[in-house]
Amino acid sequence: MKYRSTRNDVDHSELSPAAAVIQGLAPDGGLYVPAVFPKASWQLAELTKLSYQDLAAKVLALFFPDLSSQQIKAVVKNAYGQQWDDPKIAPLVKAGRNFYLELFHGPTLAFKDIALQALPQLMTRSVTIENRHRQIVILTATSGDTGTASMRGFSDQAGTQVFVFYPHGGVSPVQLRQMLSQRGHNLQAFAIKGNFDDAQTEVKRIFNDQTFKGKLADQGCQFSSANSMNIGRLLPQIVYYFYAYGQLVNQNEIKLGDQVNFAVPTGNFGDILAGYYAEKLGLPIRKLICASDANNVLTDFFHTGTYNRQRPFYLTNSPAMDILVSSNLERLLFDLDQANWQEIKSWMTALQTQGHYQVNQTVFHQLQDLFVSGFATQKQVKQEIHQLHQETGYVIDPHTAVGSFVTRQYQAQTSDPTPTVINATASPYKFPETVYSAITGQAVASKGLPAVKQLHALLGGELKQGVKALFANPPRPEKVITRSEMESVISQDLHLK
Ligand SMILES: *Cc1c(COP(=O)(O)O)cnc(C)c1O
């Protein structure tokens, strides 16, 4: 099992799973993917009987054969333990005719915990395997949720240093509070004057800056990434697709072998790509529903085959999806285009230089077989939260509402009767302002933590540990910098010459 870059010849980019996790991003700007996609020898029936942890061990073993089974067990035990407020890790809830896969029971209340509780475990073991006694410097661009989740995952992990960059004014009050109240000795968060794409582009640039990398190496340090560009972040997400399927079987909602749809609120395309990988591993998926917010570049892409980032950028009530360049789409295209890395490279270069590219007809037709797409405006997001609550009593966050809205629209248009799982990517308490006003028609009295209390007063019930934790540590002051200062703050903090 080897990995390779999406933008280079296999002979020139091949490396071990451990090295791919440490590197994060390929030096040619491409993303690491399996050189040959693994074939699973398991039976679907046996998977439906496994706990989340045992299922995770099976999936990870397939992609990380250089870890011993003892090591995999330890990864899974540490990643999916007491820090989760539900023993199922990812419980499935039926509301109306659809199913909601709750991926937000981890410490930071969003689905990124699923991957970011596992990635540090994989990374520290990879460092040992590769025998690199280097300090790993994690650079992360975040639209909100990755920031806290990676700080939380790497907090006080020996041999790691974490730098998080988020758009100033572009994250929710609760997300901001979470980032500013993390306490590990190895964690730093900076607000960038710009949007998420600015932060992500600069992180990618710093990552591949040879001079800077040289200085880091002199100091015994090496960059890595906790973004979903890192393959070690992506692969743990395959698990919950199988786990959702198992729950549908065990709750007698489907028979083994029946097809299901998954609807995924999409930003950087990591979550939905994991669904595509699950399908490649034999999960009977009929449609992957790619749901976008008002930044609907992917909706247009799936309809036309042209990816065009030249459009206005909107800050919406689903901030984790406010993205115009969905990095992980590159991995899907690479796979559908039969590993034609030259073509992938030319598309990605066109995206960078001209702002758009068009895929070929073969890729386009494959996309249309498996994917459908749609988007929800901010108003539709609030209506969806309101309507679902009215009809079923179930409360969803704005990101989940995007998936839920697009699903219902798709079902109305197509009459597709396939059982559909909507990935519920964040807790409603992470976005209390939008959820409260969607349900009541009234604005909250005050944003952030007071809004959490106000929403709780409305919904009742017991608060989960992740919500209670919001009130524990006081926040540190925000550090605001420009995009061009990102490199120097890293240099200063690591005392580079
Ligand atoms: C990150 C995030 C998304 C988008 O997921 P991608 O893997 O980037 O497509 C959706 N919802 C929430 C709540 C998120 O945090």
CB 171 within 8 A of CB 147: yes
State how far the Cα of 456 lies from the Cα of 450, in Å rounded to an integer. Answer: 10
Comparison of pLDDT for 127 and 444, the residue scoring more: 444
Mean pLDDT of 41-60: 97
Q: Select from 128, 147, 131 the least CA-distant residue to 226.
A: 147
Mean pLDDT of 329-339: 98
Active site includes 382? no
Instruction: Compute the C-alpha angle 193/195/201, nearest 5°.
Output: 100
CB 402 within 8 A of CB 293: yes
Q: Is the pLDDT of residue 173 over 80?
A: yes
Q: Is the pLDDT of residue 132 over 90?
A: no
Q: Is the pLDDT of residue 403 over 90?
A: yes
Q: What is the pLDDT of residues 408-448, one digit of tens each?
A: 999 999 999 999 999 999 999 999 999 999 999 999 999 99
State how far the Cα of 321 lies from the Cα of 329, in Å rounded to an integer. Answer: 14
Mean pLDDT of 115-131: 92
Confidence of residue 120 (pLDDT cuts 50, 70, 90): very high
CB 227 within 8 A of CB 146: yes
430 Cα: distance to centroid of ligand 1 (angstroms): 13
State how far the Cα of 486 lies from the Cα of 193, in Å rounded to an integer. Answer: 11
Q: DSSP class of residue 110? A: B
The sheet with strand 135-141 has its strands ordered as 221-225, 135-141, 160-167, 187-192, 480-481
274 Cα: distance to centroid of ligand 1 (angstroms): 12
- At residue 133, the pLDDT reads 77
Helix axes 486-494, 210-218, angle to 10 degrees: 10
Q: Is the pLDDT of residue 131 over 80?
A: no
43 Cα: distance to centroid of ligand 1 (angstroms): 30
Q: Is the pLDDT of residue 276 over 90?
A: yes
Q: Is 112 in the pocket of ligand 1 (CB under 6 A)?
A: yes
- At residue 308, the pLDDT reads 98
265 Cα: distance to centroid of ligand 1 (angstroms): 7
Q: DSSP class of residue 464? A: P
Q: What is the pLDDT of residues 162-171, one digit of tens each?
A: 999 999 998 8
Three-state DSSP at 48 gives coil
Q: What is the pLDDT of residues 198-238, one digit of tens each?
A: 998 899 899 889 999 999 999 999 988 888 889 999 999 99
Confidence of residue 302 (pLDDT cuts 50, 70, 90): very high
Mean pLDDT of 468-484: 93
What distances in angstroms separate CA 92 from CA 99, 139, 176, 305, 423, one per listed residue? 6, 33, 28, 33, 9
| pTM score of the predicted model | 0.95
Q: Is 145 in the pocket of ligand 1 (CB under 6 A)?
A: yes
Q: Is 400 in the pocket of ligand 1 (CB under 6 A)?
A: no
Nearest atom within ligand 1 for CA of residue 274: 7
Catalytic residue from among 88, 94, 112, 453? 112
Comparison of pLDDT for 146 and 62, the residue scoring more: 62
Q: Is 424 in the pocket of ligand 1 (CB under 6 A)?
A: no
- At residue 445, the pLDDT reads 97
Q: Select from 271, 300, 421, 322 the least CA-distant residue to 367.
A: 300
- 85, two tokens: 């407020």
